[in-house]
Amino acid sequence: MSQAPDRKADSDNFMQYGQDDSIYTLSDELRSYLAILKAAVQSKMEYRGSFVAYIFTLIGFYGAQVSVIALMLNRFKQMGGWQPGEVAFLYSLLLLCNGMVSAIFSGMTEFSELVREGTFDRVMLRPLSELGQILAMKFEPGGVAHLILGIAALAVADTMIDLDWTFLKGVFLLTSIAGGVFILAGIRIIIASVSFFAIKNQGLQHLLVFSAREFLMYPVHIYSFPVRLLLTFFFPIAFVNFYPAHYFLEKEGQTLFHPSLAYMSFPIGLVVLLASLVFWRFGVNRYSSTGS
């Protein structure tokens, strides 16, 4: 019987890089991250049955969400003045942003366990960014399925509403998706950073990462004024898909607090991400080992 590969050894190989040099170069760091990332992907792919089951579960989950939206649109024909194709476009933006976040930042949802088990102590001993290590260690290949579904949803929405694509719209689509990714990733980093002070943060994870995302399945303006205010200025997830969708769909400004908000996804995303990194560094600097 062949012996299973030692994933821990693979993930720790990066410690060998740069040991012979007094200066730890950027090339050494890159190879270190790639070694950790390779070990993470290989570890996930070892259990192929589980991976395939995850993909089918994911498809079933999104299929159920689409079915609910389709039933509501079939019953009411529109949703707050938005036609089925426009709601499909809104949903496709959410899938595209969530796909990237699920692949790259999945480690943030599991971070409290790393703190509780003391694994983060080992992370801090390595000459690499703690956040970079966590992202590489917990990279989720299944997140690619989110992206594929998001691209498929965008193609379907495009056939339903026949968007007039231009080079400028293509660039704005990429920057809007980047802004949405920054927002969702920043929220995950902030909640993960709470673990430095409270260790367990599962309640916040379910409320602010998973449950709050349900608001983005529908046009935000169908909610009450306090909810719209919350999702725009205090917990700005409406910038993930609702506000940038106005630009592509050429929606009138009556559903916005201000027409300029349709262009603010990327700037808001940068602010949220930078704020999350500041809070992360604040937590790391005040972290004390949990012991064992």
Q: In this predicted model, what pLDDT tens digit does every residue of 144-175 receive, in sequence order?
A: 777 888 888 888 888 888 788 899 999 999 99
In which element (H, E) is residue 91 found? helix 84-104
pLDDT of residue 93: 93
pTM of the predicted protein model: 0.82
Q: Is the pLDDT of residue 218 over 90?
A: no
More confident residue, 290 or 90: 90
Q: Mean pLDDT across the stretch 188-193?
A: 93
Residue located via tokens 């012979």: 20
pLDDT of residue 1: 41
Other C-beta atoms closer than 10 Å to the C-beta of 167 total 7
